[in-house]
Amino acid sequence: MSTDSRPRARLHPAAVTALVIAGVAIAGAVGFLVWLLAQPADSNSEATQRLVQWEEVFERYRAANGALPDMPFGGYCLGDGFPVGTGGTANCRDYEDATYYTQDASAPLMDALRSVGELPRGASAPVRGTIGPYAIYDEAGVRLLSTEDGTCEAPAVEVWNDGEGLFVCQILLER
């Protein structure tokens, strides 16, 4: 058995602590980046699924009350959590432009729909300055609309696109 009597180089305890902290910080940063990259964007299928959820709420209201909620012709935000835009209000549709609908003005519709159950979660991801979901009441019925990045997914159908990636997709509820 041999014994090595040469002195060994040792790290100072403060250096060891600094290395451990640096390693933990690097591992944490890498873990955060992996988690961030794994978070799905609000995909077209999610935006369409949200429209389907709103369609179900409107149809529950119709089943319970014999008709869709009675609202004046115009546009309404579906849900909450919309960004503050033009007018300093939380808006849907073209939230920073002149063609927006306010979340506050949509409260009577949300109250009516809430009477038949829980409402779907709020705003979808904005696409090129437009955010949904929103509804338009007009002579055709109630148009449930969402913004999607690229082509619309069934059962929603395309009603408009800007030629640069913004597609407005619709589910129509006839009265």
Predicted local confidence at residue 12, as pLDDT: 72
Percent of the chain having pLDDT more than 70? 79
CB 146 within 8 A of CB 168: yes
Contact 64, 116 (CB under 8 A): yes
Looking at the domain assignment, is residue 6 inside a domain?
no
Residue 5, domain member (yes or no): no
What is the pLDDT of the chain when averaged over all its residues?
Answer: 86
Edge-to-edge strands, sheet with 141-149: 74-77, 134-138, 141-149, 166-173, 157-161
Beta carbons within 8 Å of 150's beta carbon, 6+ residues apart: 44, 165, 167
82 inside domain: yes
Q: Domain count for the chain, please give it.
A: 1
CA distance 130 to 127: 5
Peptide bond into 133 cis (omega under 30): yes
Task: Provide the pLDDT confidence category of residue 124 given band limits of 50, 70 and 90.
Answer: confident
- Tell whether 23 is covered by a domain: no
pLDDT above 50: residue 34 = no
Tell me the pLDDT tens digit for each residue of 51-90.
Answer: 999 999 999 999 999 999 999 999 999 999 999 999 999 9
Q: Look at 51 and 15; give whichever has higher pLDDT.
A: 51
Residue 27 lies in a domain: no
Residue 14 CA neighbour count, 13 Å, CB half: 0
